[in-house]
Amino acid sequence: MRAERERLGYTREQVAERAHITPRYLAAIELGTKIPKADVMVRIIRSMGASANSVIYSPQQETDNECERLAHLFLQCTPKERKLIATMIDTIIDQHQQDETSAAEASLKT
């Protein structure tokens, strides 16, 4: 669990806060000195936006861990938050396309 948390870039405090447990309890779980109940384990996994397989089984390289992580986080959002996220992504993509068009037009002028 610790390796997955660190791979995803979260601190113990961040995950503990999101999972509604103490950092000390999370440390004990990561060290194997405490075994969490199923509901606590689910909260920890969800708080990292990780898959259960990546936490429970030995780490395996997945083709696109970042997309999976983002999908898990997205699914935790409300419909209103999802709409906001989609709008932000659309804006970013539109900006990329405008930048590419501007660069192509500039190269044609020279």
14: confidence class by pLDDT, cuts 50, 70, 90: very high
64: confidence class by pLDDT, cuts 50, 70, 90: low
Q: Which residues, 6 or more positions from 49, have their beta carbon under 8 angstroms from its beta carbon?
A: 8, 69, 70, 72, 73, 76
pLDDT of 19 higher than 90:
yes
65: confidence class by pLDDT, cuts 50, 70, 90: confident
Helices (H), the chain: 2-8, 12-19, 23-31, 38-48, 52-56, 65-75, 79-109
Evaluate whether 47 touches 15 at the Cβ level (below 8 Å): yes
66: confidence class by pLDDT, cuts 50, 70, 90: confident
DSSP assignment letter at 64: T
Length of the chain: 110
Predicted TM-score (pTM) of the model is: 0.54
101: confidence class by pLDDT, cuts 50, 70, 90: confident
